[in-house]
Amino acid sequence: MTKQWAGIAAFAALAASVPFFLGDNPYIADILITMLMMASLASAWNIVGGYAGQFSFGHAAYFGTGAYTTSILLTTSGIALPLCIGAGILAASLIALLTGAIVFRLRGHYFALASIAVAEIVRLTAHNLEITGGAQGLLITDITFGNLDLNSKEPFYFAMLFLLVTTLAISLLVRHSRAGYFLLAIREDQDAAASLGINLYLWKNMALIVSAALATVAGSIYAIYIRFIDTSAVLSLRLSIEIILTTIIGGVGTLWGPVLGAALLVSLAEALRTNLAGELLVNSGIITEASPIESFLKNNLAHAHVLVYGIITVLCILNLPKGILGLFRRKQRT
């Protein structure tokens, strides 16, 4: 466990020094911020999905609730930024509590199904209310926080990094405490867990609320960073699924799996979007710009990152049940 704390500290120090090497490169900074955000979201999801084994297919609801609550409060009231983020946490925790309180009375796949339903209710509500800007979305202008330059990328890089490190620290604390053993027992066998005195209902709800609260903060930071949110960006089922895939591909139920998954998938999405494969082939002279292969790659692959995620997920589930992180672990365990 001390080793893992050292790992988190080393990661934090390394990641914190990146901006100083990088200088002013907004393109790379944007990719890194997205990576940190997906890593935070996947780590947060991992607490309820990976440790407690309760697959939430609606984590976008918490992310989006954070984004909307914070944005609305920032634009319509004079409340200070940290309080706006706090309000987001409160709102999303309430949604998590309501969902969990009802659905965790049932077992099996009901929670997964209900989480989709709740997320869709939240999405449709946001889509039709006036205060959320409806389908047009919400523009966030004129925000300040202390003397931070909120037009630069740096504050957001550090904010997301802080969130990720906090999420990792909470995960590590939970995993090695009584709560962690209880969550893992629930994942492995609910009847056995109950026979050992574990209150299934209570601990599943606890896991969901902690997970939801962390996902909310990611949403709040994202909204202030992008300055524009709409339901398709922050409340979509696609985002919920990307969070799950990131965790599964990286290594579900592990500390570093979600981080690894985010690093890989965000890079991959970017490579696909910019048609990196096609460019490489052209630049290395294997194909010409006019070749049908290049035009196929350019026209199709760029929009196919979710498809590629899906294929990787299937391969991971079939061959790497512990995700890509499991590749490195296999030797240690036996």
Partner 1 sequence: MMAPLLEITSLSKHFGGNAAVSDVSFSVEEQRIVGLIGPNGSGKTTLFNCITGYYPASSGRVWFSGRDVTGMKPDRVCRLGMVRTWQRVKPLAGLSILENVMTGAFCRTRSATEARMIAHEQLRVIGMENVTQKTAGDLPIGLKKKLELARALATGPKLLLLDEVCGGLNNTETQELLEIIRGIREKGTAVVFIEHDMKAVTRLCDRIVVLKSGKKLAEGLPSEITSNPAVIAAYLGTGYSHA
Q: Which is nearer to partner 1, 59 or 187 (CB)?
A: 187
Burial class (CB in 10 A: 0-12, 13-18, 19+), 195: exposed
Q: Which is nearer to partner 1, 210 or 229 (CB)?
A: 210
Q: Which is nearer to partner 1, 196 or 280 (CB)?
A: 196
Q: How far is the CB of 286 from partner 1 (least distance, A)?
A: 45
Helix H, strand E, coil C: the string for 244-290 is HHHHHHHCCCCCCHHHHHHHHHHHHHHHHHCCHHHHHHHHCCCCCCC
Q: How far is the CB of 152 from partner 1 (least distance, A)?
A: 43
Q: How far is the CB of 44 from partner 1 (least distance, A)?
A: 21
Binding site for partner 1 (CB under 8 A): 176-178, 181-182, 184-185, 187-189, 191-200
Q: How far is the CB of 305 from partner 1 (least distance, A)?
A: 31
Extract the tokens encoding 59: 């984590």
Q: How far is the CB of 184 from partner 1 (least distance, A)?
A: 6
Q: How far is the CB of 248 from partner 1 (least distance, A)?
A: 15
Q: Which is nearer to partner 1, 50 or 137 (CB)?
A: 50
Pairs from 121-129 (Cβ < 8 Å, separation ≥ 24) = 122/58, 122/61, 122/64, 122/65, 122/95, 122/235, 123/60, 123/61, 123/64, 123/231, 123/235, 123/236, 123/237, 126/64, 126/68, 126/231, 126/235, 127/231
Coil vs helix vs strand at 228: strand
The Cβ of residue 328 has, within 10 Å, a number of other Cβ atoms equal to: 12
Q: Which is nearer to partner 1, 148 or 320 (CB)?
A: 320
Q: Which is nearer to partner 1, 113 or 184 (CB)?
A: 184
Indicate if the alpha-carbon torsion angle 280, 283, 286, 292 is positive or negative: positive
